[in-house]
Amino acid sequence: MGMTSSILALALAGVLQEEPKLELNVPGATLGSVAGKIGEQMGWDVQVDPSVRSEVLVIRTDGMDPQKTLAKIAEVTGTKWILDGNRMIVQPDFDARNRERAKKRAENTQRILKAKGDFLKNLANPKATSMEGEEFSYEAGTGSKLLGQIVQGLGDQVFSRLAPGQRVVLSTNPTRMQQPLGSVNVQMVTKWIAETNEQRKAVGQIDPGDDEGVQQMMEMFGMNMEDMAPKPITEQPEKVVLVLARSGRSEYTESGVSVTLKVIGPGGKTLLSEQSAFGGGGEMFGDFAIAVPTMTPTDETDEEPARKPMPGDELKVKPSEEYLTIRKATTISFENPNAAKVSPETRQKLKDIENFEPLRFELGELLWQAAEQMDKPLIALLPDETWQFGEKIPETIGEVRDQFEFYNVVEKEEGGFWQVLPKEIGSAWDGRVDRTTLAMVMRAADGRTYVPLDPLATFLYQYPDATSNDVANSRIQAFAPFLMGSMMGMGSANELYRVYGAMTASERQFVRRGGQISLGQLSGSARNVLVEMFFGAEGRIMPVELEQALKQENPTDLANSMFGRGMMFGEMMGGGGDEPTELMPTGLPMNGFVASQAFQDKYVISVDQQGQPVASMPPFGRSEIAFLSLLTRNPQFLSDTPEAQEFLARIAAGERTQIHLAVMIAPKKGAQGVLSDMGDPDLKNIFKFSNMPGELGANAKADADAIAASPMGKFFQMMGSGGGMGGFGGGGTIKP
């Protein structure tokens, strides 16, 4: 409990002789705002630490004892309230917060170690459970057995010490970025390679025979069976590494530890890999990706047990018109995502985070009304959970309670208060997005349709999990929809927004002009993001063709690359990509560089019946327009997708700056993506997608023709002509 000081209690007692009651009616506001109201009534100058000012409360206290009320507020917000003369200081209660975090870490450690034990036990007598719930035995492969041997030789502390976001690499011949692994059974490595080569040889001997479809596809992509077959391993293994990675940035992220065994050859090339996961909610044991031995199969026909009726369930709640307007503006309809009508005034309120707390328009106002109807004092703490698909507004207190499960809250009565609190209060504290910072980002969109790139990138740098926080994401979706990607998965790499956000003003200007900056010259904050990108739990290195990465978007090239050899056939039965600690044995190479090139690009967006952008749809650039143009040539696509017809009926266009960014850490290795800086769309000129004016319409037709003649277009024509899934040449349809 935050109200821990007896001195404070005495001080309050003195104050309360003059002001014995506290009246708070808050349907949803931050602790900073609530503390200000308390200060006004108590005659205090209240100072709230920035780290806790964004805790969101719903309060109804009609003439309550201030000491009891403040003690309860302190308890649920994980804060201490310290009275110093006429000044009230509100700061984090680190004891309470650390207690919750330690409890969660202990739970996570127990879960991970139990999963590790289950993995080893399963290897001794391999059994797995299919998705249908049937148990079967299987012979563990040599890779799985070797992984089990190595894991068994590691102490539990190796796993329990892993922090969220950390990646540790153990090696038989460690680089500076690795730790010693110890000895490994060389005979098993040799056997594993031999077995893999036998499997690859068998795959290479498969004859497509007279299968016309296979022959057509091979001709289409200029391939033969030799191209398709995985290549045998001919290189000599030089070392074995074990990668332990724990995803997430917080103890409250339900993640386990991924364990990957790699056989490394010359030049740091991964020859073979074997992977398992401990404690992530369902373990995958080596040979069987479908094997989930630590999970109990459930009958999908079973329904959730009905909530027990409670006093007050039948009482009515009636939210304000403002609640209904904002709730509808942030709700996505499954049936018709374009149905929302959002006025410019409502969009302005969505930006004004400080005066229109988002959670007030979720559960907040409903809870306050419920407390008023039941005539109960209420103190509620809401987690940053929103329900963007909850179209039905509750009409009774019972229906409000029915939503508690979704919002991850529970209710109880304690100390004279009706309380609605997060199921896991530490998670709510830990996952809160700072409202003041989010409001600053939204203010950058004042007078504009979208948030400019620079303030958005800075925000993403400061709050890496912003797009997974419901509150932040609901506003980003409305004012930075380009972060959502697109229907064909051609979005940008969000991590590169963070790299840009960490750059200095001069570095950003250089990137916008186009050119190269060596990693040695890059600011430390930007380098730190790159270190996290490549060496963190999600660390990965991608193939990058620099010239292509910095080239202006070409829909046909994109179509061919999507359906080229890499996508269709990939690297079969082994590999696993480059190991960062091998490719960069001493850390981020200072002779690597960031390269950029900026282009102006037209885009289109769907607008609603009020002429405002549809928040649930991202802007479409030239490639997306081309694919959509091709799809709309199929009448069945339009008849089967009325929501697409709605989207296509009202279109506005604008221009954006597309910054192509590539990070090169070795020849043809690194990361790449596209950053968007959106200009405002012309909302005064609305047109149909089928009748796009000028250059937009001409490009759409030419690009669609080119894609139709490409391998991708032919592939879908072939699939469609057979009554299959293709949407370009008859048959079925593809829905965005």
pLDDT digits (tens, 9 = 90+) for 672-713: 999 999 999 999 999 999 899 999 999 999 999 988 888 777
Q: Which segments of 338-403 does DSSP mark as H helices, in order?
A: 344-351, 364-374, 397-402
CA distance 45 to 283: 53
CA distance 611 to 135: 56
Q: Please give the residue that has the higher pLDDT: either 372 or 11.
A: 372
* Strand runs labelled E in 185-304: 239-246, 257-264, 270-278
Condensed to tens digits (0 to 9), the pLDDT of residues 406-430 reads 999 999 999 899 999 999 999 999 9
CB 337 within 8 A of CB 643: yes
pLDDT for residue 185 is more than 60: yes
- pLDDT value for 254: 80
pLDDT of the residue at 732: 41
Q: Specify the 3-state DSSP secondary structure of 667.
A: coil
Q: What is the pLDDT of residues 228-252, one digit of tens each?
A: 667 899 999 999 999 999 988 999 9
| CB contact at 8 A, 9 and 3 | yes
- Which two tokens mark 422? 């997060």
Question: Are the CB atoms for 349 and 326 separated by under 8 Å?
Answer: yes
Distance CA 247, CA 602 (A): 37
pLDDT band per the 50, 70, 90 thresholds, residue 574: very low
Q: Sign of the C-alpha dihedral, residues 319, 324, 330, 331?
A: positive
At residue 675, the pLDDT reads 94
When mean pLDDT is compared across 18-32, 143-157, 680-694, the lowest value belongs to 18-32
Query: Which among 127, 111, 172 is positioned nearest to 146, based on CA atoms?
Result: 172
Report d(CA 721, CA 491) in Å as an integer.
30
Given the structure tokens 């949803």, which residue do they identify? 28
Between 262 and 1, the more confident residue is: 262
In the predicted model, what is the mean pLDDT of residues 178-195?
A: 95
Average pLDDT over residues 366-375: 97
C-alpha distances in angstroms, 27 versus 381, 390, 438, 584, 641? 11, 19, 20, 53, 40
Give the pLDDT of residue 201: 85
Tell me the mean pLDDT in the region 551-572: 60
**Token pair recorded at residue 90:** 């509100």
Give the pLDDT mean for 563-582. 56
CA dihedral over 207, 210, 213, 218, signed as positive or negative: positive
Indicate if the pLDDT at residue 83 is higher than 60: yes
Q: What is the per-residue pLDDT across 187-215, written as a single tens digit (0 to 9) for each?
A: 999 999 999 999 888 876 666 555 566 66
For residues 63-88, average pLDDT: 95
Instruction: Give the residue with greater pLDDT, 97 vs 617.
Output: 97
Instruction: Name the more confident of 626 and 227.
Output: 626
Segment 527-549 mean pLDDT: 93
CA distance 115 to 294: 7
Judge whether residue 8 has pLDDT over 60. no
Is the Cβ–Cβ distance between 342 and 370 less than 8 Å? no
Asked if residue 734 has pLDDT above 50, the reply is: no
Cβ contacts of 14 within 8 Å, gap of 6 or more:
none
Is the pLDDT score of 313 beyond 60?
yes
Least-confidence region, from 108-117, 291-300, 512-521: 291-300
Phi, psi for residue 460 in degrees, rounded to 5: -65, -30
State the average pLDDT over residues 108-136: 87
Would you state the structure tokens that stand for residue 531, as one six-digit string? Answer: 């270190």
Residue of 687, 616, 615 lying closest to 654 (CA atoms): 687
Please tell me the predicted confidence (pLDDT) of residue 292: 38
726 pLDDT higher than 60: no
pLDDT at 473 over 60: yes
236 vs 617, more confident: 236
What φ, ψ does residue 228 adopt, rounded to 5°? -75, -30
Segment 626-630 mean pLDDT: 88
Q: Order of strands, edge to edge, in the sheet holding 542-543?
A: 515-518, 593-606, 651-666, 669-678, 542-543
Of 17-21, 63-67, 402-406, 561-565, give the lowest mean pLDDT range.
Answer: 561-565
- What's the average model confidence in pLDDT over 656-676? 95
pLDDT tens per residue, range 289-309: 333 333 333 344 445 567 899
Write phi, then psi, for 115 (nearest 5 degrees).
Answer: -65, -40
Strand partners, 80: 91
User: Going by CATH, does the domain composed of 6-94 fall within 3.40.30.10?
Assistant: no
Percent of the chain with pLDDT over 90: 60
State which H helix or E strand residue 601 sits in: strand 593-606
The Cα–Cα gap between 482 and 499 comes to 17
pLDDT in tens, 259-292: 999 999 998 889 999 999 998 654 444 444 333 3
More confidently predicted of 240 and 328:
240
Look up residue 197 and give its amino acid: N
Q: What is the pLDDT of residues 333-366, one digit of tens each?
A: 655 555 556 788 998 999 999 999 999 999 999 9
CB atoms within 10 A of CB 386: 22
Backbone angles phi, psi at 63, to 5 degrees: 75, 45
Contact 189, 237 (CB under 8 A): yes
pLDDT: which is higher, 610 or 393 = 393
Question: 625's torsion region: left (phi>0), alpha (psi -120 to 50) or beta?
Answer: alpha
What pLDDT is attached to residue 731?
39
Does pLDDT of 327 surpass 50? yes
Taking residues 98-119, what's their average pLDDT?
95
The pair of structure tokens assigned to 270 is 């991964």
Distance (Å, whole) CA 118 – CA 509: 53
What are the CA-CA distances from residue 610 to residues 329, 448, 689 (Å)?
Answer: 12, 17, 18
CB 686 within 8 A of CB 611: yes
Q: Closest Cα partner for 349 from 484, 434, 445?
A: 445
Contact between residue 58 and residue 88 where contact means Cβ atoms under 8 Å apart: no
Q: Which residues contact 40 (CB under 8 A, 6 or more apart)?
A: none
Q: Are 359 and 365 in contact (CB under 8 A)?
A: no
DSSP state of 484: G
Residue 655 in this model has a pLDDT that exceeds 80: yes
Q: In the prediction, which pLDDT does 19 show? A: 54
Q: What's the token pair of residue 34? A: 């609530």
Extract the tokens encoding 652: 């506005």
Q: Tell me the average pLDDT of the chain.
A: 85
CB 461 within 8 A of CB 502: yes
- Taking phi over 0 as left and psi of -120 to 50 as alpha, with beta for the rest, 590 belongs to alpha
Task: Give CA–CA dist 51/92, Å, rounded.
Answer: 7
pLDDT of residue 492: 43
| Residue ranges matching CATH 3.55.50.30 in the chain | 6-94
